[in-house]
Amino acid sequence: MICGKSGLSCSCWKLQACVNLCGLSGNAGLIKMPRHIAIVEDEPDIAANYRDAFQRYGYTVSHYSDRPSALAGFRLALPDLAVIDVGLGDEVEGGFDLCRELRSQAPTLPIVFLTARDDELDVISGLRLGADDYLTKDISIAHMMARVHALLRRVDLISQPKEKEDVLERGELVINLDRMSVSWSGQMVDLTVTEFWIVHCLARHPGQVRNRQQLMDAAQTVLDNNTVTSHIKRIRKKFQAMSPDFNSIETAYGMGYRWSSR
């Protein structure tokens, strides 16, 4: 297994997370067949680069350049994870359609959108369709790998309960780091990986303010302030959907956000 002692040039905290991840995937990967990742991308250069990167990490990769061929491939064999571009050739929203169809075939299959489009609306509609994450194309390969690992790990752990899990409890919030799942008052909160890392980053040290850069680093993505803000917004909404008086994520004006220490 080629693991992430690699050139992941990130902060100390991230490095720690990364080592953690690699270790886990190493455990799982030893006993499992190589993971199969489907890349649906109409840009051959990007597809080739990602394919190379994934292959370097030990994944098998299938590349489809349009929706029909991807669907045909999925009918033959479902991948373990799909990375889908939103715009596929002439189909401007072909990725969304593909996601919908794929989701109907495999409800738990991790789907990651990888796209040049970063409109808030696209992000929202993509996530609504059941994608697990939404990444813009200028994300570094290392960041993407971290996500893919995380997603796969989550799928694995959901299907294979472990006896002792790495759990972080903050009042009603319970973060299962192994499963990468979050629950509030015993109910699962459906968070994307990015959102998960943001919540984790905040809740790890309640009361400490995390600025946007820190949150971005935690989520292993390059986002601008607005995107962080909208992520926070979405996280709050998800929690508020379960508990309307949720206000644990506080805004420290000009600085960032903090998890309420109460």
Partner 1 sequence: MRLSRQLLLVGLLVLLLPVAGVRWVQEMELTFREQQAHVLSASLRAATASLSQRQLLPQPVEAKGAVYVQPVGVDLVMDGYFEDWQAQNLTSRIYIEDGSEAGNMNPAVQFSAATDSANLYLAFKVTEDKTVHYNPVGVPLKNGDRVQLFVREDNRMERYTIVTEAPGQVVARTVRPWNSINRIVRENRIRGVWRDIHGGYQLELVMPLAMAGEQLGFTVISGATEYWAGSVGPGEEPGALILPDRHLSRTLEVFLEDDMRLGILDSAGWQIASTNSSGFTHSAKQEEPFWLISWFYRAILSWNQLPDYQNFWRSGGWQSSPLSSALDGQPVTLWQRKNDRYRLLASWPLVKDGNVVGALIAEQGSQAVMSLASRSFNRLFSLSFLAIILVSAGLLGYASWLSFRIRKLHRATEQCIGRDGRLRTSFPASKSSDELGELSRSIAAMVTRQENHTEYLRSLGSKLSHELRTPLAVVRSSLDNLAHEQVGEQGRVYVSRALAGADRLGGLLNSISEATRLENIIADSAMSSEWERIDLRLMLEDLFQAYSGVYPKTHFNLVNSSEACETSIQPELVVQAMDKLVSNAVDFCPVDGSVTLHLAKSDHHIVVSVENDGPLLPGTMEGRLFDSMVSVRTTRGEKPHLGLGLYIVRLVMDAHSGTVKAENRRDGKGVIFSMIFEGE
Closest CA to 80 of 20, 152, 27: 152
- The separation between the first and the last C-alpha atoms of the chain, rounded to the nearest angstrom, is 43
Distance CA 108, CA 129 (A): 13
Dihedral angle at the C-alpha atoms of 229, 233, 234, 236, nearest 10 degrees?
A: 140
Strand-strand pairing, 81-84 and 36-40? parallel
Q: Name the residue nearer to partner 1 (CB basis): 185 or 225.
A: 225
Distance CA 78, CA 76 (A): 7
Q: Name the residue nearer to partner 1 (CB basis): 44 or 108.
A: 44
Q: Name the residue nearer to partner 1 (CB basis): 43 or 91.
A: 43
Q: Name the residue nearer to partner 1 (CB basis): 20 or 230.
A: 230
CB of 105 to partner 1, least distance (A): 28
CB of 160 to partner 1, least distance (A): 31
CB of 230 to partner 1, least distance (A): 7
CB of 206 to partner 1, least distance (A): 18
C-alpha to C-alpha distances, 116 to 67, 78, 145, 255, nearest whole angstrom: 17, 25, 18, 29
Q: Name the residue nearer to partner 1 (CB basis): 91 or 172.
A: 91
CB of 145 to partner 1, least distance (A): 9
CA count, 13 A, side-chain hemisphere, 63:
16
Closest CA to 200 of 233, 167, 241: 167
Q: Name the residue nearer to partner 1 (CB basis): 160 or 253.
A: 253
Contact residues for partner 1, defined by CB under 8 A: 6-7, 43, 45-46, 49-50, 52-53, 56, 116-121, 136-138, 140-142, 222, 224-227, 229-230, 233, 251-255
CB of 124 to partner 1, least distance (A): 9
